Amino acid sequence: MPQWLHTFGDQYLMWNEGPLIWISDVLILLTGFGIVFVLTYFKKWGWLWREWLTTVDHKKIGIMYLIASLLMMFRGGVDALLLRTQLAVPNNHFLDAEHYDQIFTTHGTIMILFMAMPFIFALFNIAVPLQIGARDVAFPYLNAISFWLFFFGALLFNISFVFGGSPDAGWVSYPPLAGPEFDKGPGENFYLLALQISGIGSIGTGINFLATILKMRAPGMTLMRMPLFTWSVVATSLVIIFAFPALTVALALLLLDRIVGTHFFTMTHGGDPMMYINLFWIWGHPEVYIVIMPAFGVFSEVVATFSRKRVFGYTSMVTSLLLISVISFFVWAHHFFTMGAGADVNTFFAVASMAVAIPTGVKIFNWLFTMFRGRIRLELPMLWTIAFVPCFAIGGATGVMLAAAPADYQYHNSYFLIAHFHQVLIGGVVFGMLAGMYYWWPKMFGFKLDDRLGRCAFWFFNIGFYVCFMPQYALGFMGMQRRMYVYPANMGWNTLNLVSTIGAYLMGIGFLFIVAQILYSIRYGERDVTGDIWDGRTLEWSLPSPVPHYNFAVIPTITSRDAWWEMKQTGQTQALRPSADEIAPIHMPKNSGRPFILSACFFVAGFGFVFEWFWLAALGLLGVVICLILRAFEYDDEYHIPPHEVVETESALGRL
Amino acid sequence: MERGAQTTQHGHHSPTLYIVGYVLSLVLTAISFVLALTHAMSVGPMMWILMILAGLQILVQLFFFMHVTEGDGPPYHSVTLLIGLIFTFAICLMSIWIMTFHYQSY
């Protein structure tokens, strides 16, 4: 091997770090070649570009978000299994300290930013315009930009594993550990830029969906007639819009510290590392409500549909969602009680944190009362919802324990905390997102996911969850700290750690069952011929599955809450089936390749900043500016679908 | 603006408004940047000046770019603006409260 290749291989490709990297290289190359081969062999490149990469259709963007988040769940899950394998037995050296640090950092970052966020955006995109009777979101072009910024942000983050080195200062990336003195490599830059790029996309999505819901509802759909999932998106979008800028500022200042040499977070020149922690959690705590509130929305839809009752306490559900979104901005300091800001500060934030339990408790009781005397069908979405209730209640209770500031000095950064937030994030967000995926899957693809494999996945994942995380509460009490990569044999932690690792693998098997279920159902899943496979209550179930690209041939007029259910009860479903002469030309946005190219330019710029190759960064930013200018002078970005085309599509679906 | 474009009547503002807004926001940013860079005054008064400049910056954004005085339909923007102001001030004031560590002076 020539010397330059050797140097390049060691410095950028980390070939000196052993088999984990080599295996990943080989797998990435094989997957890459596989994708290129399949696309070329089946002549699908044009199809990929026309139908997916340039699409502004919210339903397709939703599907792309869903695929991306399932892939990221796999990556984050593999990270988790590597961590648990390392911790299975004392004095283990399966991973070294360096790799362990990198893997817990990527696990946390990917699961929150690149798994949970795209998963909620997937459900936003798939459900919201259909639920409010709209033909697309308010800004379809911005929607495509949001997706591609997320996509390239995630790509930038993941590429660090095999090119340049992963970040290793935890998903919170606190300075001074993440500062320029202690963390020289490009890893932290990857973290900062990937989050920055995908963060722009997230703010875009928040603005987009708030505008969509406030401005584009069908006639008659007043705010208090909106489905609860749509309400949860209102609350979530508000929090996104106001929380994400704090993250943007924190990341930008840390990046300046790292590559320009400013001193915002270094003690030596009057900076203050604590300020990063403060800014990070101004975003970070609202962020956990950003990912949980859409799950609450899903549960409200699922519980009502599968209990065949209207949801109990609709108004209190809406009020508690809005209360949660407001309180979420008054609790962030509970992440650093131990910083020592003073008893008055800690008291305020402890009480505010405990207050969150009240609106959340109201919601839990409302779901239970909705089920009470309902005719419950235990389909997959309902199973996950029922599993959520006890899991989230325990997670919430341990959360109140952590919110008690004096006690938190004991729990802080122990495995008790780890068990708590995994319980609310898995038991709340992951269960909720899976319930939502099962619920709207027929709407997206026109077939149901197989029930038997789904039940296997459910039981493996649920039992695995408790086996994995219950021991961690105990380990926390026994003094085990988070982020330790090895522990001695005489601490009394051995059995519990081994049990926990077994649980993690059970959850891994559960995930594999979900993959198997999807692959099996593509071929053999029950086809949805009516468009209303669950006997649903809200407008999306009035449409055929999959939904035609213009959604509604004629925009419906809404007269009550649970509009579709009401129409079915009163035998007025024909009102939603237009006659041929009613159909007018439909005004739709044109596809555009620019969101993809713009985001790719962001990726190039980000990559340049990571390695401080400023010429490359300038080149990327130049591309961004050119895309923006071209967009500003674009006038012809809309078209009309002629009525005869709509008539043809609707007749082919048997709806005329 | 996509499909909303056809429903809004006030799609055309004179470019002067935007240019004035742009220049104003640049000037406000430049003043605060220079103040912070040159340590022109002691920390206490400078904090106040910076906060006032930031408040002016918000007004510039709202009036010159977001046209806060215009709009049709229900006044959703007033509600969201109110929430936004509550969040902004709550976050700023509580951050100062947390980050001054004032109990240490007891």
Q: Judge whether residue A371 has pLDDT over 90.
A: yes
Nearest residue on chain B to A272, alpha-carbon basis? B99
Query: How many Å is the maximal CA-CA distance in chain B?
Result: 62
Give me the domain span that covers residue B63: 11-105
Inter-chain CB proximity B3 and A330 less than 8 Å: no
Q: Judge whether residue B71 has pLDDT over 90.
A: no
Residue pair A520/A450 in contact (Cβ under 8 Å)? The answer is yes
**B2 → closest Cβ in A141, A278, A343:** A141
Residue range A90-146, pLDDT digits in tens:
999 999 999 999 999 999 999 999 999 999 999 999 999 999 999 999 999 999 999
Residue range A568-614, pLDDT digits in tens:
999 888 878 878 788 889 999 999 999 999 999 999 999 999 999 99
Report the mean per-residue pLDDT for chain A. Answer: 94
B3 found inside a domain: no
Inter-chain CB proximity B103 and A139 less than 8 Å: no
Confidence of residue A431 (pLDDT cuts 50, 70, 90): very high
- What residue ranges do the domains of chain A occupy? 44-652
Which residues of chain A lie closer than 8 angstroms to B84, CB-CB?
241-242
Nearest residue on chain A to B37, alpha-carbon basis? A262
Q: Judge whether residue A642 has pLDDT over 50.
A: yes
Q: Judge whether residue B12 has pLDDT over 70.
A: no
A550 contacts chain B (CB < 8 A): no
Interface of B with A (CB under 8 A): 1-4, 6, 73, 76, 80, 83-84, 87-88, 90-91, 94-95, 97-99, 101-104
Residue pair A517/A542 in contact (Cβ under 8 Å)? The answer is no
For the domain spanning A44-652, the CATH number is: 1.20.210.10
pLDDT of residue B105: 54
Mean of pLDDT values over A189-212: 96
CA neighbor of A333 nearest in space, from A279, A297, A414, A385:
A279
Q: How far is A342 from chain B (nearest CA, A)?
A: 5
Mean of pLDDT values over A38-44: 92
| Eight-state DSSP code of residue B3 | G
Which residues of chain B lie closer than 8 angstroms to A279, CB-CB?
95
Q: Judge whether residue B10 has pLDDT over 70.
A: no
The residue that leads in pLDDT, A356 or A270, is A356
Q: What is the ipTM of this complex?
A: 0.84
pLDDT of residue A532: 92
pLDDT of residue B78: 82
Nearest residue on chain B to A586, alpha-carbon basis? B3
The residue that leads in pLDDT, A268 or B97, is B97
A214 contacts chain B (CB < 8 A): yes
B15 found inside a domain: yes
| Tokens coding A270 | 């009057």
CA angle B58, B60, B64 (to 5 degrees): 130
**B91 → closest Cβ in A329, A589, A638:** A329
Inter-chain CB proximity A330 and B6 less than 8 Å: no
Q: What percent of chain B has pLDDT over 70?
A: 84
Which residues of chain A lie closer than 8 angstroms to B8, CB-CB?
none
Q: Judge whether residue B81 has pLDDT over 90.
A: no
pLDDT of residue B5: 38
Interface test with A, best of B43, B91, B104, B106 (most A CBs within 10 A): B91
Q: Judge whether residue A67 has pLDDT over 80.
A: yes
Q: Under 8 Å CB-to-CB from A635, ≥6 apart: which residues? A: none
Residue range A406-416, pLDDT digits in tens:
999 999 999 99
pTM of the model: 0.94
Q: Judge whether residue A194 has pLDDT over 70.
A: yes
B6 found inside a domain: no
- What type of residue is A65? Y
Nearest residue on chain A to B83, alpha-carbon basis? A326
**Dist. CA A104–CA A169, nearest whole Å:** 9
Confidence of residue A188 (pLDDT cuts 50, 70, 90): very high
Inter-chain CB proximity A326 and B97 less than 8 Å: no
Q: Judge whether residue B70 has pLDDT over 80.
A: no
| Tokens coding A209 | 């969906």
CA neighbor of A162 nearest in space, from A8, A14, A5, A19:
A14
pLDDT of residue A150: 97
User: In chain B, how many domains are there?
Assistant: 1
**A343 → closest Cβ in B73, B88, B103:** B103
Residue range A1-15, pLDDT digits in tens:
788 888 888 888 888
Confidence of residue A184 (pLDDT cuts 50, 70, 90): confident
What count of other Cβ atoms lies within 10 Å of the Cβ of residue B14?
8
B25 burial class (0-12, 13-18, 19+ CB within 10 angstroms)? middle
